[in-house]
Amino acid sequence: MSGLDEYMDKQEQKELKEKNYHKPGDTTELPEAPASATVKIKSPNGYEWLYTVRDTKAGELITKMSFLERVFQSEGWTPLTQGYQKTSQKQPKPENLDPNAPICSIHNRKMDWKTGVSKTSGKPYAFWSCSIKNPDGSWCQYKPQTNYKPDQIQ
């Protein structure tokens, strides 16, 4: 009996045995695996953990990962992955429906009419924007050759 057994009730010890999990304190050597996945998760009590799963085959690893996701969710654990959104997924912006909107000749998509007030100068602005970023992270700088200004885009 390891020193940590005293913290586990009989039901927990039985579940470990049935699910073929290692008991806390086991020192079994594990071989290096060609496939592994690590997830950062938060327990229902607020503790943050890194959990790594390994396997000799990628397909079997994916099966284990899927199983563990269900277990973690059912037990109230939450992922701590950058960009994770539990309640809603970011929705793609709908395409501009204005039939007269100019087309960006670089990205071949309808441009969006942007209006507002500059946070730095306090001056109002209104312009056509492609709304697509370039591979280097900068915004597309295409300027359409049009004087069309929509009254209101819905």
Task: Give the mean pLDDT per block of 10 residues along the chain (154 residues).
Answer: 58 70 61 82 89 84 84 85 52 65 88 89 90 87 85 50
pLDDT recorded at residue 30:
63
Question: Which helix (H) or strand (E) segment is 105 a member of?
Answer: none
Gap between the Cα atoms of 60 and 35, Å rounded: 9
Contact 6, 25 (CB under 8 A): no
The pLDDT assigned to 16 comes to 66
pLDDT at position 89: 46
Distance CA 142, CA 128 (A): 9
What pLDDT shows up at residue 151?
Answer: 67
pLDDT of residue 142: 92
Query: What is the predicted pLDDT for the residue at 56?
Result: 84
Q: What pLDDT is attached to residue 154? A: 40
As a whole number of angstroms, the distance between CA 149 and CA 100 comes to 9
Q: What is the pTM assigned to this prediction?
A: 0.37
As a whole number of angstroms, the distance between CA 144 and CA 125 comes to 16
- Domain-by-domain residue ranges, the chain? 30-82, 96-154
